[in-house]
Structure 1
């Protein structure tokens, strides 16, 4: 196994973006539907992230990954790690001094209630992205032959930690979007160097004028040296957390790689995992920036 050293797991964007094949929730049937519902229930999130839907394309791989992480994901230790990661992310985002846009939205005609609806939507992702970061990080560690903890004991979390909301996700897909929103989507892909637009952005595009303003205010911070330092620090915190968390199911690199090999060449799956483990720290930073834009 690789020595536990952060320098051995630098944040890494694949040289060539691999093809991803996320299976949407509405197309998941039978057994996969049950796995999707179980994932959302344990994580207390209202959506399957593109990351886990892309992983689920490799059935044996995701069965073993989720099966090995399920008890951990429902533990007090995991929830504490998610909260700490979120706190660190938001501290990094506030350091950029992003513009406050609430007054601009009111000038455009947004009511306080509408702005609160946007805040509520952002809260869904601010909470829910953290477990996805840790899951992707665990997957990459294992596929690159790191060992998780040998400690199996963890404490089941009882109660509600996810946001209580009636504000369901309404995703504005490209074929739904008007020309200005499509332009923002293309700008996001070009700025981030990705061929797709994450769920978070498609959900926030439900309010097109807000979305355009929020992105235009967040974009100048992206690809700066300060931004890269912040995103790298989030990656580093996530790696340290995953390596220090319990491993109640004894998930190992050997078992995960053996499962993955049944689905596709290991390198193919490893590149997909690297892609998401690279992009998620940037995504959570951008969502934190958008949260900070709506500060009271």
Structure 2
């Protein structure tokens, strides 16, 4: 495995994501290519934060684009997701369906929550591979690749963009929940995933309490580290058809800011995304229907 230990930047750098509506010209075109290449309905915060450094992000995406959507990339995402879900299962997520049914949730509403979770269960793997590659290259490691990118995989339908409950939308209850998430995870912001799940406050509040108990366990970091390590191996093994080098990406970063400034932002997301992938997998496992729904609603 490439020498890329988990590393949380200290201090945490300020991030300045460029929202989709604010992207114009060349950056708007790169955003459109990113969404198409990754087959996602939204630009993840990681990509928008990277895009604050447009030469850096344009160079990174131009190298990743020929590989995204191909069989090796899709296989890497599937393998990484399986790793996250396996590690989440070791945290013994408690089922939440009985509690939701007691609250009054119907099956169609629970299916909507599952569909929202699927957007992030799939999408986080794409961005984790991207962030891992970016850190590898900015830290002077080679992206040796694993052969040719090959032909495109069968395209998947793009899910609708999730509805997000932004901090300025939140009532006092959700605002307190967001504050608890930031404190527990040690981050100055609330990830998109959690802002999407907050669309259902009576679901997300108890789900977060279950997840929080897992996050503070002594073995939690061990499971996150296993996701991180797998992401590094899979990212380094992706095909590199454009032969992007460390020097080239560092040169692009230096055209926007100092390499250390860009690297700090990259390290932040490459550190947080393994935990986010694990957490979303934990929340997904809570929603598995083992036949209990029909029994509980009879």
Moved more, 21-30 or 286-295: 21-30
- Report how far residue 190 of structure 1 moved: 0.3
In structure 1, C-alpha distance between the alignment counterparts of 2:128 and 2:271, rounded to whole Å: 9
- Give yes or no for contact 1:100–1:293 (8 Å, CA) kept in 2: yes
Alignment partner, residue 272 of structure 1: 265
- Which one of the candidate residues 86, 92, 101 is aligned to 1:97? 92
Alignment partner, residue 146 of structure 1: 141
- Which one of the candidate residues 227, 231, 246 is aligned to 1:253? 246
In structure 2, C-alpha distance between the alignment counterparts of 1:191 and 1:80, rounded to whole Å: 32
Runs of 4+ in 1 over 3 A off after TM superposition: 163-166
- Which one of the candidate residues 177, 192, 217 is aligned to 1:199? 192
- Give yes or no for contact 2:17–2:49 (8 Å, CA) kept in 1: yes
In structure 1, C-alpha distance between the alignment counterparts of 2:176 and 2:276, rounded to whole Å: 19
- Report how far residue 114 of structure 1 moved: 0.3
Provide the aligned length of Structure 1 versus Structure 2. Answer: 289
Moved more, 29-38 or 216-225: 29-38
2:20 pairs with 1:21: no
User: Structure 2: where are the runs of 5+ without partners?
Assistant: 290-298
Pairwise CA RMSD: 1.3
In structure 2, C-alpha distance between the alignment counterparts of 1:211 and 1:223, rounded to whole Å: 18
- Which one of the candidate residues 202, 219, 226 is aligned to 2:219? 226
2:165 pairs with 1:172: yes
- 1:93-128 alpha-carbon deviations (Å, 9 max, x no partner): 011111101110111111110000000000000011
Cα 1:78–1:227 change in 2 (3 A) is same
- Give yes or no for contact 2:131–2:270 (8 Å, CA) kept in 1: yes
TM-score normalised by length of structure 1: 0.95
- Report how far residue 226 of structure 1 moved: 1.9
Matches within 5 A, 1:110-121: 110-121=105-116
SS of the aligned residue for 2:48 comes to helix
TM-score normalised by length of structure 2: 0.94
Alignment partner, residue 53 of structure 1: 48
Alignment partner, residue 124 of structure 2: 129
- 1:238-262 alpha-carbon deviations (Å, 9 max, x no partner): 1111122211110110100000001
In structure 2, C-alpha distance between the alignment counterparts of 1:119 and 1:151, rounded to whole Å: 34
- Report how far residue 164 of structure 1 moved: 5.2
Alignment partner, residue 296 of structure 2: none
